[in-house]
Amino acid sequence: MPRLVMKFGGTSVADLDRIRNVARHVEREVKAGYDVAVVVSAMAGKTNELVAWCREASMIHDAREYDAVVASGEQVTAGLLAIVLQSIGIPARSWQGWQIPIETSGAHGSARILGIDGSKISAHFEERREVAVVAGFQGVHAPTGRIATLGRGGSDTSAVALAAALEAERCDIYTDVDGVYTTDPRIVSKAKRLDKVSYEEMLEMASLGAKVLQVRSVELAMLYGVKTYVRSSFDDPTDPKPGTLICDEEDIVEQQTVTGIAYSKDEAQITLRRVADTPGVAASIFVPLADAAINVDMIIQVVSRDHATTDITFTVPAGDYARARTLLEELQPKIGYESLEGATDVVKVSAIGVGMRSHAGVAAKAFKALADKGVNIRAITTSEIKFSMLIDAAYTELAVRTLHSLYGLDAA
């Protein structure tokens, strides 16, 4: 029988009524002839509550015990969904990550999946025609036998990895939206749901602020060719909408130059003034930041007329801004900059589309359009299928709306 993996996020399983609704979605696919594995998140708000309890117990706590606590949210949901499925006549059992097993690295709180053995679940499919309800977001660090969690959004990654391991026909990610949109519908009312989007475009969208899927889940889908749908769990289970298919670029017949506009408020800007323009100076800045696990995104270097000094501007996640600033201030004697300036009231706005590969001047149109609206661009980065601009946060909505219209997405 064909296999299907379904994943339901926290809002989809927020209470027992919604879990019963999820069970109806699962029932539909079982009756359609699929062997189904369901990956579930914790009930909405539960993970935050568990994290808060850990911090209340002790601000400095063992990451292994933290994982043991926060992983319990998904385990509760998996058990409840299995009970509900059984109550409507569908054989089901819950699985925790270590029971499958999903093997992970030992980076507790942000572990990466190293491998999944799907043979046990496959055996239950063949012998018992039983739905596997899997607790997402978690696995086991084999050398220690300890539970390890995958970081926020990790249930998406669990689902895609499981789909690859089971050689599933597809992986359906159910959320509170009915697909991937050209931009945030809360900002642009004319935003349209995309029927299809390529893995590469979705990877860029996810990394640049679109919160529909976790970045790692898209990486795995692309690596293993897992066809992934983003769908709404709030659709009528008897008549669901198709959602958005994330697939190979070759599977998309018509491709627009720009597919979507994303934005990220999780940005902070740091500028080091009058740094000596000598070999190794960039390493003296960015190696310590990397060693501190602070991700650097945009980097701009402007050399002075006498080529003796340079100004270096870069961005870091807003949550790491204070830590990055403190680190650089401590390194000032070694780096030798004259002053450090910072800003947290900035936003990164990006345009993404594989069509950029074959079209010239796509970014230039955006620069002119924003200039005409009085929007100043602080920094720019580009790649083959996207460009990003750092702007003042006050102009976020204006910039997103302007670009959405500029590239014809209002009428997409």
**Binding site residues, as ranges?**
7-10, 47, 74, 175-176, 181, 186, 211-212
Torsion of CA 277, 279, 285, 289, to 10 degrees: 160
Q: What is the radius of gyration, based on Cα positions, of the chain?
A: 23
Of the candidates 198, 197, 195, 219, the one whose C-alpha atom is nearest the C-alpha of residue 207 is: 219
Tokens read off for 80? 């409840």
295 — phi, psi (to 5°)?
Answer: -80, 130
**Binding site residues for substrate, as ranges?**
47, 74
**Binding site residues for ATP, as ranges?**
7-10, 175-176, 181, 186, 211-212
Under 8 Å between Cβ of 208 and 272: no
Under 8 Å between Cβ of 39 and 9: no
186 — phi, psi (to 5°)?
Answer: -70, -20
CA dist 378 → 42, 258, 270, 346, 349 (Å)? 39, 22, 11, 9, 11
Tokens read off for 359? 């079209």
Tokens read off for 213? 């899927």
Tokens read off for 268? 């902070």
Q: What angle do CA 76, 78, 83 make, to 5 degrees?
A: 95
Q: What is the pLDDT of residue 411?
A: 66
User: β-strand 170-175 against 228-232: which pairing, if any?
Assistant: parallel
d(C-alpha 328, C-alpha 286), whole Å: 10
Residues 6 or more apart whose CB falls under 8 angstroms from that of 372 comprise none
Q: What is the pLDDT of residue 309?
A: 87
Q: What is the pLDDT of residue 276?
A: 87
Write down the residue that tokens 């990877």 correspond to: 203
Tokens read off for 75? 């385990």
Under 8 Å between Cβ of 160 and 123: no
d(C-alpha 226, C-alpha 397), whole Å: 34
Predicted confidence (pLDDT) per residue in 284-296, tens digit:
999 999 999 899 9
Q: Considering only the C-alpha atoms of the chain, give the largest distance between any 2 of them, rounded to a whole number of Å.
A: 79
Write down the residue that tokens 């009058």 correspond to: 274
User: β-strand 244-247 against 228-232: which pairing, if any?
Assistant: antiparallel
Domains located in the chain, CATH noted: 3-251 (3.40.1160.10), 255-412 (3.30.2130.10)
Task: Please name every residue paired with 229 in a beta bridge, in sequence order, or none if there are none.
Answer: 172, 245
Q: What is the pLDDT of residue 71?
A: 96
Predicted confidence (pLDDT) per residue in 269-324, tens digit:
999 999 988 888 899 999 999 999 899 989 988 877 767 888 999 999 999 999 99
pTM attached to this predicted model: 0.86
Q: Which residues of the chain have pLDDT under 70?
A: 254, 306, 411-412
131 — phi, psi (to 5°)?
Answer: -70, 130
